[in-house]
Amino acid sequence: MPMNAIKEKLKSHFKDTHLIVSAPGRINIIGEHIDYNDGFVLPAAIDKAIYLGFTKKEANPTSIQSIDFGETIEIDGSKQTSGWAAYFEAIHQLMKEKEMWHQSVSCKIISNLPVGAGISSSAALCCGYLYGLNELNEWGMTRLEIAKFAQQVEHAIGVNCGLMDQYAVMFGMKDKAILLDCKNETHQYVDLKLRKHALYLINSNIKHELIGTPYNDRRRTCEKIIRAIQDRYENIPSWQNVKHHMVDEVKEQLTANEHQQGIYVVEEFQRVKYCAAKLIELNVTAIGKALYETHEGLSKQFQVSCDETDLLVALAKQNNVLGARMMGGGFGGCTINLLEKETAQNKIEVITAFYKQKTGLEANVIPVNIGKGVDHITYDNL
Ligand code: GLA
């Protein structure tokens, strides 16, 4: 939905609200399945967001209305639900456990962030809602605390994710990538102005949904490998200290697939460092090459891709796109593509047409603009 249309929608639905919050999605340039392994990742927030309009209520229950889905739900923090309601039940359940007193609210939600595309709509939803409650109730949580609370929500729902998505959603900055050190939970910003080039997401339209996928298995495997390495070596506090040969040395304790998955982690650690340096130099050729290598690793070694995202990346390569790879947790969602602006449209048309012919699926394109993290907006500025 174009920005003007979203603004009109916000204006008509958010007129009498007490607080309006925007919570963006995120891309990840490189460093996939590395956050829960204490490594460095390179995400950024985008200019597509979930908007939440809060109105304080005198009495229970808290209610959430999705304007887009035409649904309203009441939340008490104890109901067993599924879909988007489950995130709110989990948030309120955790608030109870943490004994966080809060005023009841009615919250309206409008979004132009695609769901199931692997651009962190659930992190945006949880971070945006928690940010709003934090403001209204004056809890004084920091951005990092909000990010970690939102991560706990995902764990409660059943996805044992790392912190990258929530961190990017909370700390995004216009035209900057975030070089996030997941071990120390600190970051530095790297300029993300690609001049003649740009990033484009191509949505495979295979719904990316991590609940029930082997995502948690991959995390368990990585934990098993690091434990085996730590048993063998002293002074290996985390994956940040692991070398290729160490994974080989514990090979006998691993299946062939697990061994390959460990090798992927070590190689991806190196690619993130390399890519962050190349981004500073604006060496797009080197970045593009690293993106293809990451895809190869995610598909063949780490085994979290699917036929459709593999096809989109293969088509990108055939059409001389500088770099492309599946993005996010895997098993569907988007590919991220690095292209020269001038020829981007033609190449993308060829790729998506061929994709449709092969799979019968429409692959829609999401141009990437790097935006800021969660923030509040005043009604007059809409
Ligand atoms: C999902 C998770 C993140 C991260 C990525 C893979 O997006 O939520 O924590 O692990 O997958 O890099």
Residue range 243-294, pLDDT digits in tens: 999 999 999 999 999 999 999 999 999 999 999 999 999 999 999 999 999 9
pLDDT classification of 21: cutoffs 50, 70, 90 = very high
Give the integer Cα–Cα distance in Å for 124 and 110: 12
Question: Does the structure show a pLDDT above 90 at 295?
Answer: yes
Q: Which atom of ligand 1 is nearest to the CA of 163?
A: 9
pLDDT greater than 90 at residue 155: yes
Structure tokens at 105: 């609210």
pLDDT at 39 > cutoff 90: yes
Residue 236 to residues 227, 229, 232, 233: CA-CA distances in angstroms?
A: 10, 8, 9, 7
CA angle 300-304-306, nearest 5°?
85
* pLDDT score of 78 more than 90: no
Which position has the token pair 């900057």?
176
Per-residue model confidence (pLDDT) at position 3:
81
The Å distance, Cα 295 to ligand 1 centre, comes to: 15
Q: Is 159 helix (H, G, I), strand (E, B) or coil?
A: coil
Residue 24 CA to residue 50 CA, distance in Å, equals 6
Domains 3-192+370-381 and 197-367 share a fold: no
- In this prediction, residue 212 has a pLDDT band, given cuts at 50, 70 and 90, of confident
Is residue 328 in contact with ligand 1, taking CB distance under 6 Å? yes
CATH: 3.90.1150.10, 3.10.20.30, 3.10.450.40, 3.30.70.890. Which one for 197-367? Answer: 3.30.70.890
Query: Which residues have C-beta within 8 Å of that of residue 268, sequence separation ≥ 6?
Result: 30, 31, 32, 33, 34, 39, 294, 297
Mutation probe of ligand 1 site: the residue of 41, 115, 153, 161 with most atoms within 8 A of C-beta: 161
Q: What is the pLDDT of residue 4?
A: 86
- Domains of the chain, residue spans: 3-192+370-381, 197-367
Does residue 211 surpass a pLDDT of 90?
A: no
Pairing of strands 323-326, 19-28: unpaired
pLDDT attached to residue 82: 86
Q: What is the pLDDT of residues 167-179, one digit of tens each?
A: 999 999 999 999 9
> 45-59, 77-91, 129-143, 307-321: which has the minimum mean pLDDT?
77-91
Give me the pLDDT at residue 289, please: 98
Confidence of residue 185 (pLDDT cuts 50, 70, 90): very high
**Ligand 1 pocket check for 208: Cβ under 6 Å:** no
Does residue 2 have a pLDDT over 80? Answer: no
Give me the mean pLDDT over the 219-234 stretch: 97
- What is the pLDDT averaged over residues 333-360? 97
* pLDDT above 80: residue 326: yes
Mean residue pLDDT across the chain: 96
Does ligand 1 have an atom closer than 6 angstroms to the CB of 161? Answer: yes
CATH 3.10.180.10, applies to 3-192+370-381: no
Q: What is the mean pLDDT of residues 313-337?
A: 97
191 in active site? no
Q: How far is CA 5 from CA 11, 18, 55, 112, 229, in A?
A: 10, 22, 23, 10, 54
What's the mean pLDDT in 25-38? 98
Average pLDDT for 355-375: 96
The closest residue, in CA terms, to atom 1 on ligand 1 is: 329
Taking residues 13-34, report their average pLDDT.
97
Residue with tokens 């809602």: 129
Q: What is the pLDDT of residue 271?
A: 98
What pLDDT is attached to residue 381? 87
Of 309, 347, 307, 346, nearest in space to 327 by CA:
309
Residues 305-322 have pLDDT tens digits of: 999 999 999 999 999 999
Phi-psi region of 331 (alpha: psi -120 to 50; beta: other; left: phi over 0): left
Question: Residues of 195-215 as b/e, b for ≥16 C-beta within 10 angstroms?
Answer: eebebbbbbbbbebbbeebeb
